[in-house]
Amino acid sequence: MPLPPECLVGLAPILCEMMVTHARRCPICRRRWERATQLAACRARSTPEDIEYQGVAYSGMLTPLGTLWIASSARGVCRISCDEDELAFCHEIERSGWGPARYIPSRLASETAQLAAYFAGRPISFDLPIDYGRRTTFQREVLETVRHVPYGEKRSYREIAAEVGRPNAMRAVGTVMATNVLSIIIPCHRIVRSDGAMGEYAVRSRGACGMVGKQMLLTLEGAGLEREAIHP
């Protein structure tokens, strides 16, 4: 069964090719993309925005990873996720101390435009303000270091640990990456193992298909690993 053409609009050709190929192998991801397309159509018919609301605003966009939810507080982007449904995404925002979130896409026009440009294949460097919330000093240092790994390049967990002054903290760096809630703009997909192997990516929510997502992003940036490493 082919993918809905709507989910391929505006994407870099290499992403379209990888999505179609993977959808033939994985009915679960094919259903994810189908459902994401349906939800995008529903959002287009949503109720008027509450533009007077001063709390956290969020929006959603269709991407090769499924529906990507983006939320921003008054200080900056506070959560980005493609591994949660809308209700869970909003619940996590409130649980993390930012208060209730409301669907106000117009307040995230810059964020969605930059993300759309990224998935279209432009070598973009995100210049969005970030709200790190309750993260510890170490977590912030790791996330800021990863944030500045250039487009199309990779770093190892060991290298990130050394850059933050904790050369033996590779596992701790890995934990920060595993709990990164600012996907794409904090490019944890660019962090790989010291032996060059890909390492895990969204394994708790996507299983083996998380690796496919990481491969897509690295291939888009021209820094991909061999596809055979995922599909022997």
Q: Which residue has the tokens 């394994």?
A: 203
188 is catalytic: yes
CB 223 within 8 A of CB 154: yes
Nearest of 220, 217, 134, 223 to residue 181 by alpha carbon: 134
Residue 177 burial (10 A CB sphere; 0-12, 13-18, 19+): buried
Active-site annotation holder among 7, 29, 78, 188: 188
CB 71 within 8 A of CB 89: yes
Q: Compute the Cα dihedral for 207, 212, 213, 215 and give only its sign.
A: positive
Which residues are annotated as catalytic? 188
